[in-house]
C-alpha cells in the first residue's frame, strides 16, 4: 500500500520535475520516482517506509555516511558566521583553510585550489587552465584533450568534450566540432600497452595540438577497470615527454574511497591538476575543486592577460568549505581511508563467494570501489544485447530486495561503492542481497 504522501509527491514529480537522464514514461513504468525522506548511516528510507542499503553512497558522494552530526554542526556554525559571500572579491576563513588543507593532503606540489560549485565545473576549470597555460606559453594550437572510450566526466560543455560516449553525453547536437579525442577503453589491469595506445592517438593527432589528458585513475566509469601498477607512472612519463598536462579526475576516487586518500597515492604519481568533488564534502554541500601544481598556477601571475577568467557565484561557497574541512577532519581522525582498504578487501572476498552464480562474470576493485560484471555465458564472457538489459534487471532485483546500486558503462557492470565506514554486518547484508539478486537475474535472463 502506497502512503498518501508518496502518491501526492509522485504525481507532482511526474508533472513538474525534470530528472537527469530520465524518460518520464520509464519513470511511470517503474512506478517511480522513489521518494527518500530519511537517511542514516548506510541506509535510506522512502515515504512508504521501505529501507534501502545505499550501495553507491548516493552517486559515490557520501564517503562519511548519512546523518553525520559533526557535518551539520559545521554547516550551522558557518551559516551563523557568514552564510554567503562571493569569492570574486572577498574570502572567508573556511575557504582559505580548506585550500591550505587540500595543499597539505594532495600529492606532491599540488598546492593551489580553484573552487567550483560541483564536479562538472571542476572538469571545465581543469581543461580551461590547461589550455590557457599552453596558450600563454605561445603553444596556441594545443587545444585537444584526450579521454578514453566509456569515460564519464560530467555534462557541461567541457566535460561533454571529454566524455567517452558514455550515456551519449558526447552528443553531436551540442558538439559537432568537439576538441575531445577518444582513445580506446582500458582493459582491467592495463599497463604500459594502454599508454602506448594513448600515445598512438596523440601521434596521429600531432602532439603539438594536444593540451591535456583527462582521466579517472581507477577507470571507474569504464567497467571499474582497475589499472596495473605500471599504468599511471608510465602515463605520467608520457605526458612529460610530450609536454601534455595530466589531469587526474579524482571526483569519485578522492577522499579515501580506494583505500588511500587519493587514487594517485597508490602509484606515487603527482598529476598536474586534480579535480575533486563528491567526497570532498561527503555530499553534504555541492562543492568541487581543481587543485593545481605550483609551477602551473604560477604561470597565471603577470598582467591582465594572465588572469584566469572563470568563476561561478557559488564557487567555493563558505558553507561548503566549512563542511569539507570538517569532513576531511572526520576522514583523517576516523581513519576512513584505512577502513575502506580493509572493508573493501572483505567485500571483494565475500563477493568472490558468489562466483557459482550463472550471471557472475567477475568482481574487481580497490578499497570501497568495486565493479561486479554480469554475463549470460561465463565461459565466453558474453552478455545481453544491449549489455544494459542485464544491468537493469539486476539493479531492479537489488532494489526490490532493499539495495541501491548503479550500473555503469557498458551497462552490465554494477558499481558497488558504499560509505567507507559501512559496518561488517551491513556489508554481509549487502552481499546477501546481491546473492539473491544474482539468482533472480539468472531466472529472468537465462530462462527467457
Chain contacts with ligand PLP (rule: CB under 6 A): 118-120, 123, 152-154, 216, 249, 251-252, 277
Least separation in angstroms between residue 238's CB and ligand PLP is 21
Q: Which DSSP state fits 36?
A: E
Least separation in angstroms between residue 251's CB and ligand PLP is 4
Nearer to ligand PLP, 212 or 251 (CB): 251
Least separation in angstroms between residue 174's CB and ligand PLP is 16
User: Using an 8 Å Cβ cutoff, are 100 and 106 in contact?
Assistant: no
What is the dihedral angle through the alpha carbons of 376, 382, 384, 386, rounded to the nearest 10 degrees? Answer: 160
Least separation in angstroms between residue 4's CB and ligand PLP is 33
Burial of 1 (0-12, 13-18, 19+ CB in 10 A): exposed
Instruction: Name the grid cell of 133.
Output: 597555460
* CA-only gyration radius of the chain, Å: 22
Least separation in angstroms between residue 219's CB and ligand PLP is 10
Instruction: Name the grid cell of 288.
Output: 568541487
In this structure, the strands spanning 406-408 and 369-374 are unpaired
Nearer to ligand PLP, 44 or 287 (CB): 287
Nearest to 106 by CA among 424, 436, 328, 431: 328
Nearer to ligand PLP, 68 or 148 (CB): 148
Nearer to ligand PLP, 150 or 387 (CB): 150
Nearer to ligand PLP, 181 or 350 (CB): 181
**Which residue lies nearest ligand PLP, judged by its C-beta?**
119
Least separation in angstroms between residue 120's CB and ligand PLP is 3
38: how many CB neighbours lie within 10 A of its CB?
A: 13
Residue 389 makes CB contacts below 8 A (sequence gap 6+) with 411, 445
Nearest to 255 by CA among 265, 247, 245, 246: 265
Instruction: Name the grid cell of 46.
Output: 522512502
Nearer to ligand PLP, 317 or 350 (CB): 317
d(CA 54, CA 416): 9
Q: Which residues are registered as beta bridge partners of 330?
A: none
Nearer to ligand PLP, 218 or 437 (CB): 218
Least separation in angstroms between residue 443's CB and ligand PLP is 32
Least separation in angstroms between residue 254's CB and ligand PLP is 10
d(CA 183, CA 148): 4
Q: Which DSSP state fits 82?
A: -
Nearer to ligand PLP, 21 or 448 (CB): 21
Put the strands of the sheet holding 51-54 in their side by side order: 36-40, 43-46, 51-54, 403-404
Nearer to ligand PLP, 277 or 441 (CB): 277
Least separation in angstroms between residue 351's CB and ligand PLP is 22
Amino acid at each position: 500500500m502506497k502512503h498518501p504522501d508518496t502518491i501526492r509527491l509522485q504525481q507532482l514529480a511526474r508533472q513538474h520535475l525534470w530528472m537527469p537522464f530520465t524518460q518520464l514514461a520509464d519513470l511511470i513504468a517503474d512506478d517511480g520516482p522513489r521518494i527518500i525522506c530519511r537517511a542514516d548511516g548506510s541506509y535510506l528510507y522512502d515515504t512508504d517506509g521501505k529501507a534501502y542499503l545505499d550501495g553507491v553512497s548516493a552517486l559515490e558522494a557520501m564517503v562519511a555516511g548519512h546523518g553525520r552530526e559533526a557535518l551539520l554542526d559545521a554547516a550551522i556554525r558557518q551559516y551563523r558566521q557568514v552564510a554567503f559571500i562571493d569569492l570574486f572579491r572577498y574570502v572567508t576563513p573556511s575557504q582559505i583553510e580548506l585550500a591550505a588543507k587540500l595543499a597539505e593532503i594532495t600529492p606532491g606540489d599540488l598546492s593551489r585550489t580553484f573552487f567550483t560549485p560541483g564536479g562538472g565545473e571542476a572538469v571545465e576549470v581543469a581543461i580551461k587552465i590547461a589550455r590557457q597555460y599552453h596558450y600563454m606559453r605561445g603553444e596556441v594550437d594545443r587545444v585537444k584533450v584526450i579521454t578514453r572510450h566509456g569515460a564519464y566526466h560530467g555534462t557541461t560543455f567541457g566535460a561533454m568534450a571529454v566524455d567517452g560516449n558514455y550515456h551519449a553525453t558526447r552528443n553531436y547536437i551540442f558538439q559537432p566540432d568537439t576538441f575531445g579525442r577518444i582513445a580506446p577503453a582500458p582493459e582491467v589491469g592495463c599497463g604500459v600497452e594502454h599508454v602506448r595506445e594513448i600515445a598512438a592517438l596523440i601521434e596521429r593527432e600531432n602532439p603539438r595540438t594536444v593540451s591535456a589528458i583527462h582521466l579517472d585513475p581507477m577507470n571507474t566509469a569504464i567497467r571499474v577497470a582497475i589499472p596495473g601498477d605500471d599504468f599511471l607512472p608510465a602515463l605520467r612519463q608520457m605526458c612529460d615527454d610530450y609536454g601534455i598536462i595530466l589531469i587526474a579526475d579524482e571526483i569519485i576516487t578522492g577522499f579515501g574511497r580506494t583505500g588511500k586518500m587519493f587514487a594517485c597515492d597508490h602509484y606515487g604519481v603527482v598529476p598536474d591538476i586534480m579535480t575533486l568533488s563528491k567526497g570532498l564534502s561527503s555530499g553534504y554541500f555541492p562543492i568541487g575543486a581543481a587543485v593545481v601544481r605550483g609551477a602551473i598556477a604560477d604561470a597565471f601571475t603577470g598582467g591582465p592577460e594572465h588572469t584566469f577568467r572563470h568563476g561561478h557565484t557559488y564557487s567555493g561557497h563558505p558553507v561548503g568549505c566549512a563542511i569539507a574541512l570538517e569532513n576531511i577532519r572526520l576522514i583523517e581522525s576516523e581513519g576512513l581511508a584505512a577502513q575502506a582498504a580493509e572493508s573493501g578487501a572483505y567485500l571483494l572476498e565475500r563477493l568472490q563467494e558468489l562466483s557459482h552464480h550463472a550471471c557472475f562474470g567477475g568482481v574487481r576493485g580497490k578499497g570501497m570501489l568495486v565493479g561486479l560484471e554480469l554475463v549470460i555465458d561465463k565461459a565466453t564472457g558474453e552478455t545481453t544485447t544491449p549489455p544494459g538489459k542485464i544491468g537493469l534487471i539486476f539493479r531492479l532485483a537489488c532494489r526490490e530486495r532493499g539495495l541501491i546500486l548503479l550500473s555503469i558503462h557498458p551497462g552490465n557492470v554494477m558499481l558497488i561503492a558504499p560509505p567507507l565506514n559501512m559496518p561488517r554486518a551491513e556489508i554481509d547484508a549487502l552481499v546477501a542481497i546481491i546473492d539473491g539478486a544474482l539468482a533472480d537475474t539468472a531466472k529472468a535472463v537465462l530462462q527467457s
